[in-house]
Amino acid sequence: MTKKKWNVAVVGALGMVGTEMRKTLEMRNFPIAEFRPLDIPENEGTEIEFNGKRVKTLTANAENFEGIDIAIFSAGGAASLELAPLAVEKGAVVVDNSSAWRMDPNCPLITPEVNPHDLDWHKGIIGNPNCSTTQMVVALKPLHDYAKIKRIVVSTYQAASGGGQLAYDELELQARQVLAGEEPTIEKFSHQLAFNVIPHIDVFQEGDYTKEEWKMVKETQKMFGDDSIQVTATAVRVPVFHGHSEAVNIETEKKLTPEKARELLENAPGVQVIDDPAKDQYPMPFPTAHTDPTFVGRIREDFSIENGLNLWIVADNIRKGAALNAVQVAEALVEKGLVEPSTWAGKYLGPDR
């Protein structure tokens, strides 16, 4: 790794994902000259520890982006729309975890194992994909490269933590209340999640699909660079704290056997295969929580169509689904020489907002 070091800010540094971003930067020894945690004004002055030092949190505003080379955002769409262009004007490259910029044609949407080449045309703001899309494309990319995927049918089983800290806390509270025979508190979710499943994540949109489901369609096509891939999704919230699971069915142009798929996946970056049905071995969210890989199992042929395959995909949605992917994007920027320490003085070139 180069001896150069970069000034890095995390926006939303005190939130669930922002905290994981800080930890990930530390664990992966990202070359940091200055680390600057940014958050809402109410959290100004809050001290955190980073690389063994106490650092004070500052307010996320234009002034506090001065001198920052890379700004990693976990602040929500509205904040990103307002603050990301300000960070770029101050000279930072932004990696944004919200949905605000993902489908902007001027902003690449990046999963480093899938489309790192798209970083080459960034104009200052880079989208970090939705957590459920990220783990799916990591697993499907090697299969797509070999056999060209024509159609994807995915059903997700998404953890409460995907809704943030308040959703995580509400599941824990509801479980305690239900077991105590009390009426469960329902604020973050549309219905009781404890001991239940809710086929509803984000708002309903066109065709009665949710925004979460449309994200998986559009983001997959964008990162694969192929709008002809047909994707349909059903996103379901389940009473799990950490880790999204997905049942994925693909149809390919070229025949892809389960054996060949396992071989491809075992050699794919970021993927770990757990697939031994005879020994009841397959990925599950509980034992894989707080880990980095995307886990794949239950790889089997779909006999209902000519070139069909079924897979079961699991990953920690806060790690690979959010924080880790964003840090990997920052690492790729550094490795490709696309951001120089305190010298990038670009200006956001996208459409007026």
pLDDT at 249 over 50: yes
Cβ contacts of residue 91 below 8 Å, gap of 6+? 65, 67, 68, 69, 342, 343, 344, 345, 346
Query: Tens of pLDDT along 8-30?
Result: 999 999 999 999 999 999 999 99
| 67 and 159 belong to one structural domain | no
Write the CB contacts of 278 (distance below 8 Å, at least 6 apart in sequence).
none
In this prediction, residue 3 carries a pLDDT of 82
* 1: pLDDT strictly greater than 70: no
> Is the pLDDT score of 230 beyond 50?
yes
Q: Are residues 175 and 286 in the same domain?
A: yes
**What's the whole-number average pLDDT of the chain?**
95
Q: Are residues 117 and 195 in the same domain?
A: no
Same domain (yes/no): 263, 153: yes
The pLDDT of residue 344: 45
Global pTM reads 0.94
DSSP bridge pairs for 250:
152, 309
Residue 74: CATH number of its domain:
3.40.50.720
| Mean of pLDDT values over 247-261 | 98
pLDDT for position 53: 95
Share of the chain above pLDDT 90, in %: 95
**148 and 292 fall within a common domain:** yes
State whether 139 and 88 are in the same domain.
Answer: no
The whole-number pLDDT of residue 343 equals 52
Question: Residue with structure tokens 């964008």?
Answer: 222
If DSSP states are collapsed to H, E and C, what string results for the chain? CCCCCEEEEEECCCCHHHHHHHHHHHHCCCCEEEEEEEECHHHCCCEEEECCEEEECEECCCHHHCCCCEEEECCCHHHHHHHHHHHHHCCCEEEECCCCCCCCCCCCECCCCCCHHHHHHCCCEEECCCHHHHHHHHHHHHHHHHHCEEEEEEEEEECHHHHCHHHHHHHHHHHHHHHCCCCCCCCCCCCCCCCCCECCCCCECHHHCEHHHHHHHHHHHHHHCCCCCEEEEEEEECCCCCCEEEEEEEEECCCCCHHHHHHHHHCCCCEEECCEHHHCECCCHHHHCCCCCEEEEEEEEECCCCCEEEEEEEECCCHHHHHHHHHHHHHHHHHCCCCCCCCCCCCCCCCCC
pLDDT on residue 345: 44
**With bands split at pLDDT 50, 70 and 90, how would you rate the model's confidence at 342?**
confident
Residue 350: inside a domain: no
Structure confidence by residue, pLDDT tens digits, 127-164: 999 999 999 999 999 999 999 999 999 999 999 999 99
Name the residues annotated as catalytic. 131, 244
Q: In which residue are the tokens 């699909």 written? A: 209
Containing domain of residue 151, as a range? Answer: 132-317
pLDDT tens digits, one per residue of 51-106: 999 999 999 999 999 999 999 999 989 999 999 999 999 999 999 999 999 999 99
* Residues contacting 207, CB < 8 A, separation 6+: none
**pLDDT surpasses 60 at 124:** yes
Q: Residue 33 in contact with residue 25, Cβ under 8 Å?
A: no
**Total domains, the chain:** 2
Same domain, 22 and 109: yes
Nearby residues of 225 by Cβ (< 8 Å), 6 or more positions away: 115, 118
